[in-house]
Chain A
Amino acid sequence: MTKAFQKIYTKITRITKATCTLKASGISNDELASINGRLAQVVKIDGDEVVLQVFAGTEGIPTNAEVTFMGKSPSLKVGEQLAGRFFNAYGDPIDGRPEPEGIEVEIGGPSVNPVRRKQPSELLATGIAGIDLNNTLVTGQKIPFFTDPDQPFNEVMALVALHAESDKIILGGMGMTNDDYLFYKNTFSNAGVLDRIVSFINTTEDPSVERLLIPDMALTAAEYFAVEKHEKVLVLLSDMTNYADALAIVSNRMDQIPSKDSMPGSLYSDLAKIYEKAVQFPDGGSITIIAVTTLSGGDITHSIPDNTGYITEGQLYLRRDTDVGKVIIDPFRSLSRLKQLVIGKKTREDHPQVMNAAVRLYADAANAKTKMENGFDLTDYDNRTLDFARDYSNDLLAIDVNLNTNEMLDETWKLFAKYFSPEEVNIKQELVDKYWKNK
């Protein structure tokens, strides 16, 4: 990479855990540099002083280290050859195969002009009723799983990736354990879909600041396939909490005043820049982002999930339902904001009302359960809601259910008729007349 005419600097004046400062001229903001072979990026220019953020950390860097500037920002070579490959945070192959050929583009590029977007309207079916029935996804959407670290979120993500119809799947792993990385690799390889997967992986063994490059790398690859090839691209990002933690480390080392939860004040903008890359183009290309945000102790008021929730188009919660002993998609707090664009339009007309009625009855069951736990007598209606909730959870909400949307709706009508009268279900009369199943 070193060119003959490149100037080599050898006098670092200040070193912190993440940054090096030196005097240099003609340097651009965001430019990459190499410090004794370690990759770094310009984060501050003050006159002739330049501050470099060293991705791999500064351990062992001497004040006389050789610093060269590369005259470019972080970039990725994009092309068809990316498919089926595994890369690290710098976009270098980690699968032992040669570097793919392609056109070099800077990562973290500009935003799509909002007027060049198309309103997402294409159903992204996953077969999981907790998603398709209550929280229907649409191509071009961005949505995270809010989950505790002990829940099987990687399994569910992999399931969604395999069920959902897409041309390419881009996996961005941030602080992923090696075991989980291998899990994805094996799952995709066993399903025979490896040739349409591109992975950018930073494992727990890699330096944490390197993670900051992963989403931009993954999305630059996604933009290539969506814009140039008009493909439907699904991007999986796991785990965005690790990404945000890395942001906090860097901001802290740069002496920035932290805002809530020790996170940088720019957290919202930093996350939005990533998630807003989700897009539907008029020519059919799309980028859908499904991410994971792990919670600490289920706390969604923490800055990371909180800011994420304001950016993404809904969120999905996993919960273990102890009554049926299965992991379900929690119908209360889960939400897909874009479902209104497809339910009842791309799916059957009764979808919106059936969905709402079932969730309302499920909420009545939750109230009945509280009453029961407090030792009160239950009414006949309470008992019926509890029975309904058990069936609903087991037959529909559980993540191991694999049905198409019409089957899900029919199944729900069946449960309505089994436990309730039409007045109790509270659905438009014309739909009841058409779909009510007699016992």
Chain B
Amino acid sequence: MATKGIVTGIVSNLVTVEVDGPVSQNEICYITLGDTKLMSEVIKIVGKNAYVQVFESTRGLKAGDKVEFSEHMLEVTLGPGMLSHNYDGLQNDLDKMTGVFLKRGEYTYPLDKEKLWNYTPIAPVGTTVKPGDWIGEVIENHQKLKMMVPFNFQGDYKVKEVTKAGSYNIFQKIAVLTDSTGIDHEINMIQKWPVKKAVTTYKEKPRPFKLLETGVRPIDTANPIVEGGTGFIPGPFGTGKTVLQHAIAKQAEADIVIMAACGERANEVVEIFTEYPHLIDPHTGRNLSERTIIIANTSNMPVAAREASVYTAMAIAEYYRAMGLKVLLMADSTSRWAQALREMSNRLEELPGPDAFPMDLSAIIANFYSRAGYVILNNENTGSITFIGTVSPAGGNLKEPVTENTKKVARCFYALEQERADKKRYPAINVIDSYSKYLEYPEFKKYIAEHIEEDWIEKVNDLKLRMQRGKEISEQINILGDDGVPIDYHETFWKSELIDFVILQQDAFDAIDAVTPMERQKYMLDLIIGICRKHFVFNNFDEVSIFFRKLINICKNMNYSHFLDEHFNEYLSQLEKTLAEQPQKEIKN
């Protein structure tokens, strides 16, 4: 029989419950308040007292209120029917809730109970299967979703019976599996999984190597992320974290995109579900909302559910990865999640670590990032979760615990810089401070050499070096004055400005400039690096800036034109004319 308890203490959303039987850490319980039940999670146990964090407001709760324990941890319900849905951090379907305001204790089922799915079996009778192996297939929003042996099964099973192709709802039997002791298990399209545990039903997890195209030039060209890679975007407020994150989510070449809005603004979520139905996935031509799932625990929703929301999102991502799909998971922002941990740790009166965050923060972050990755499934198919989190460093100071601990585990770092944002140079990614460790992976180098070109990475490094050099010279000019440095210093500086304006800056609000396919990125990088490798002759430094301003203006108009169309080519010939008019000199290296 399930354990019961009564409330003995309340501080904000931390409630002490005296229990009459066994309870486990992270077990879910429900506190009865009038005719509603408030969902809570056990976070500490001392003797007969269980400390639970309530996922709701505790207003009106009294000592003596009754509590029932559920004998399971926080779980997600997985099955077809999740795509294009908006969930809260506990996977309640927000659209099914009644009323304008969220009602405490209103829990809605995440899947559609009635909908019939066109089901096709995959595994024939007699096959030996393991957890995560594919049993059958349904199609949702034009994607082939696999129905699998539930992740929480253990060992090998024999397929005893399969349901023939047809229309079924999620509760109907799709197969019967026999375990090694001869017991039969009937399965349907639904399975449950505790969100804080990683799904590990794959065969191996090699180092990721395939470029994940995002259409964002300062990422793809300068610091690329890969399928199954991890990255993070720290930046003070107002530097364009959210715009950048949305650009990636809209444009990235992924099958499924999961957006965890964790403790951020509600209007940003509204933007996603207002705009996505009208936007087209640049890779498939299908509607963007079809591949997107939103997990919204916005900043005004209960704090404890904020922590749960990122895990809920990750567990759902793992479900799709096990089907062999490319999943992109975005969490905005992991700092809010860390703050939720801090609030609870504080109420539990734990000894605080740096900045009052809990001592195990670094382990929690590392553990979470490690759940992303590129995997080879038991049937040799591959799947991936690419995870990009944003970090909102307090005071814009990158030497704070969340940023530092994330830096240890994320392989790509996109540093957003206040100074660039102030100058409206967007995206405000500082290309010199940012990095992608994948550029050093031999697997990635090999992939790029085969798919783009042999000396691509060399050009990328040339670009970065020129940016670095340009920055140094601009500092020198600030100290010594325009005429205090040689004219070719001006030329070097303006070449870095050319790279900045044409490659690194990108107008996220212009339909054409916002998304640059890899082919076009290669074209532009070749063009710009080609110009940078020329040596021009100038009489004075004024001429340098006038000449390069002209180039920048022409190239930006190219960026605003359709690739290789009439306008584009017109600007290209203008560019060639301008270049030809400027005297050049030969320098032998």
Q: Which A residues lie at the B interface, using CB under 8 A?
A: 25-31, 43-48, 73, 106, 109-120, 140, 227, 256-260, 265-266, 268-269, 272-273, 276-277, 279, 281, 300-303, 306-307, 309-311, 313-315, 332-333, 335, 337-338, 340, 352, 356, 359-360, 363, 370-371, 374, 376-377, 379-381, 423-424, 426, 428-429
How far, in angstroms, from A25 to B300 measured CA to CA in the complex? Answer: 31
Q: Is the Cβ of A115 less than 8 Å from the Cβ of B86?
A: yes
Q: Are A113 and B270 in contact, with the CB atoms below 8 A?
A: no
Number of A-B contacts defined by CB within 8 Å: 203
Give the distance in Å from the alpha carbon of A269 to the alpha carbon of B242 in the complex.
19
B237 at the interface (CB under 8 A from A): yes
Q: Which B residues are in CB contact (< 8 Å) with A259?
A: 342, 355-356
CB-based contact A269/B424 at 8 Å: no
Contact A306 B545, beta carbon cutoff 8 Å:
no
Q: Which of B102, B271, B274 contacts A110 (CB 8 A)?
A: B102
Task: Specify which chain B residues have a CB less than 8 angstroms from the CB of A43 in the assembled complex.
Answer: 11
Contact of A352 among B57, B62, B509 (CB under 8 A): B509
- Asked if B8 is an interface residue, CB under 8 A from chain A, the answer is yes
Please name all residues of chain A whose beta carbon is closer than 8 Å to the beta carbon of B465 when the two chains form the complex.
none
Instruction: Answer yes or no: B196 CB below 8 A from chain A CBs.
Output: no
Size of the chain B interface, CB-CB below 8 angstroms: 77
Residue pairs across A and B with Cβ atoms less than 8 A apart, 10 shown, are A28-B62, A45-B10, A112-B266, A114-B270, A259-B342, A260-B355, A265-B342, A272-B300, A273-B299, A302-B395
B interface residues (Cβ-Cβ under 8 A, vs A): 8-12, 16, 57-64, 86, 94-95, 97, 99-104, 236-238, 242, 263, 265-267, 269-271, 273-275, 296, 298-301, 303, 336, 339-340, 342-343, 346, 349, 352, 355-356, 392, 394-397, 422-424, 478, 481-484, 509, 542, 545, 549-550, 552-553, 556-557, 560
Which residue on A lies nearest to B300, using beta carbons? Answer: A276
Are B267 and A140 neighbours in the complex by a CB distance under 8 Å?
Answer: yes
B-chain residues with CB within 8 Å of residue A273 when the two chains form the complex: 299-300
* Bound-complex Cα distance A106 to B12 (A): 17
- The verdict on A266 contacting B343 (CB below 8 Å), with A332-B422, A379-B482, A423-B549 known, is yes
Inter-chain CA distance A370–B97, complex, in Å, is: 57
A276:B395 contact, CB within 8 angstroms: no
How far apart sit A371 and B59, CA to CA, in the bound complex (Å)? 60
Residue from B100, B296, B336, B346 with most neighbouring chain A CB atoms (10 Å): B100
The answer to whether B10 touches A29, judged by C-beta atoms less than 8 angstroms apart, is: yes
Cα distance, A273 to B103, chains bound together (Å): 16
* B336→A268 contact, CB < 8 A: yes
CA distance A119 to B59 in the complex (A): 30
Roughly how many angstroms separate A360 CA and B102 CA in the complex, as a whole number? 44
With A47-B8, A114-B269 already in contact, the answer to whether A26 and B102 are too (CB < 8 A) is no
State whether B267 touches A338 (Cβ < 8 A).
yes
- A111 in complex: contacting residue of B64, B298, B355, B396, CB < 8 Å: B298
Interface contact A112-B339, CB-CB below 8 Å: no
Q: In this complex, which of A272, A300, A424 has the most chain B Cβ atoms within 10 angstroms of its Cβ?
A: A272
Contact A376 B101 (CB under 8 A): no
- Alpha-carbon distance between A73 and B336 when the two chains are bound, in angstroms: 28
Q: Which of B12, B352, B542 contacts A379 (CB 8 A)?
A: B542
* Chain B residues whose C-beta falls within 8 Å of the C-beta of A313 in the assembled complex: 265, 267
Give bound CA distance, A359 to B352, whole Å.
44
Give the complex CA separation of A311 and B8 in angstroms. Answer: 35
- Contact partner of B553 (CB less than 8 A), chosen from A112, A314, A335, A423, is A423
A30-B60, A311-B299, A376-B482 known; A356+B549 contact, CB < 8 A: no
Which A residues are in CB contact (< 8 Å) with B10? 29, 44-45
Cβ of B300 and Cβ of A303 under 8 Å apart? no
- CB pair A114–B557 under 8 Å, yes or no, is no
Given contacts A30-B60, A73-B60, contact A266 B303 (CB under 8 A): yes
Contacts of B238 in A (CB 8 A): 309, 314-315, 333, 335
Asked if A269 contacts B339 (CB within 8 A), the reply is yes
State whether A27 touches B300 (Cβ < 8 A).
no
- Report the separation of the CA atoms of residues A359 and B64 in the bound assembly, to the nearest whole angstrom: 62
Contact B395 A301 (CB under 8 A): yes
Is the Cβ of B396 less than 8 Å from the Cβ of A301? yes
**Cross-chain contact of A260 among B269, B300, B394, B509 (Cβ < 8 A):** B394
In contact, B62 and A26 (Cβ under 8 angstroms): yes
Given contacts A29-B62, A426-B553, contact A110 B101 (CB under 8 A): yes
Contact indicator B339/A363 (Cβ below 8 Å): no
